[in-house]
Every structure is written in structure tokens, then in C-alpha cells.
């Protein structure tokens, strides 16, 4: 597995290594299983690879219990890939609805914690809005609005100007 050294706090993988992944997952000799997320390359055409590097630099510094940590990345030959450790237990939806073989029911304490976190976010949205995603999406491009909806536990852990770059990545996920 070829790794390149960078100032980014995540490992840079070669495209050749990642092409060996089957169905977007790779198991490496150390037994670690990684999930590979492909980013639409049209977002970074025309020399915007530097933007991808800046996004990776910022994402790689984010450490929060509710966010999967970036393990590595690849930006070669017009391909932009994010690499995360694969979590076998699936998504929150899988947990709540037991939609896969690996899920186990969440405890009621965990469910209440999730509900409280969601309620705190919903409390900040206008009462006229029905969808949290619909409410948040327009704010992803307003730096002042973004700074108000970011988890207070993350404040000061990122450069303020990078918040709009985070928002661009978030918009790709919703």
C-alpha cells in the first residue's frame, strides 16, 4: 500500500491501491476495513484540486464523537476519494430500523440521547419549516448562519473561513 507524506492529518493513498477495493470497500493487510466515498469529479475541474486539498486538510482535523474520522484520501487522475474506517454496524437508519444483519437495537438511553441532540438542532429552526435538511441547506452558503448551527463543541477547532468548505462537503451528503 503506497502512502504519500503530506501536511494533511490523513493518509494519502494511490488510486491503484484504492482500485483494488471491491464494492467501495478494501481490507488491508493489517486487517483494517475501509469505506471509500467517491466525490463527483466535476466539482473540482479546472484546477480546483487545490480546493479538494484544502477541504481534506480541514476535515482531517475534525474530531467529534458524532462524526466518522477521515482515515485517508486520494486525488489522482481526476478522481477524488474520501476514505473512512468502515463501521460494520451500519447507519443510524439501520440501527433504528434493524435493516441489516449486523444491527443490534439501540438502548433507550442511546435513543433518547439521539432525540435530544436532534431536538436541540430542530429548536434552532423556524417553526414554519418542516424539514431540517430543507431549513439547513440554504444556510450552507451563508457563513454567519453556518456559524450559528455548528455544534458549539467544535467551535475554535477549525479556521472560520474553512466553514464554507465544510458546508460544500456537507451539501454533497444530503
pLDDT digits (tens, 9 = 90+) for 131-147: 666 777 777 777 777 77
Cell of 160: 472560520
Catalytic residue numbers? 142
Q: Report pLDDT digits (tens) over 26-81.
A: 566 777 777 788 887 777 666 566 778 888 887 887 776 667 788 888 888 878 88
For residue 160, the Cα-to-chain-centroid distance in whole angstroms is 18
2-18 pLDDT per residue, tens: 554 456 777 777 776 66
Domains of the chain: 11-85 (3.30.200.20), 93-172 (no CATH)
d(CA 104, CA 98): 7
Separation between Cα atoms, residue 146 and residue 95, nearest integer Å: 29
Whole-model pTM: value is 0.46
Amino acid at each position: 500500500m503506497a502512502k504519500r507524506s503530506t501536511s494533511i492529518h490523513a493518509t494519502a493513498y494511490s488510486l491503484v491501491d484504492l482500485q483494488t477495493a471491491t464494492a467501495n470497500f478494501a481490507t488491508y493487510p493489517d486487517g483494517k476495513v475501509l469505506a471509500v466515498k467517491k466525490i463527483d469529479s466535476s466539482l473540482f475541474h479546472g484546477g480546483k484540486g487545490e480546493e479538494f486539498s484544502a477541504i481534506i486538510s480541514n476535515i482531517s482535523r475534525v474530531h467529534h464523537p458524532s462524526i466518522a474520522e477521515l482515515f485517508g484520501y486520494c486525488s489522482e487522475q481526476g478522481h477524488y476519494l474520501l476514505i473512512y474506517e468502515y463501521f460494520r454496524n451500519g447507519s443510524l437508519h439501520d440501527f433504528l430500523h434493524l435493516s441489516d444483519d449486523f444491527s443490534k437495537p439501540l438502548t433507550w438511553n442511546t435513543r433518547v440521547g439521539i432525540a435530544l441532540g436532534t431536538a436541540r438542532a430542530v429548536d434552532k429552526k423556524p417553526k414554519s419549516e418542516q424539514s431540517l435538511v430543507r431549513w439547513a441547506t440554504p444556510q450552507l452558503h451563508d457563513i454567519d448562519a453556518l456559524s450559528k448551527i455548528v455544534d458549539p463543541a467544535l467551535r475554535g477547532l477549525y479556521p472560520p473561513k474553512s466553514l464554507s468548505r465544510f458546508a460544500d462537503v456537507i451539501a454533497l451528503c444530503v
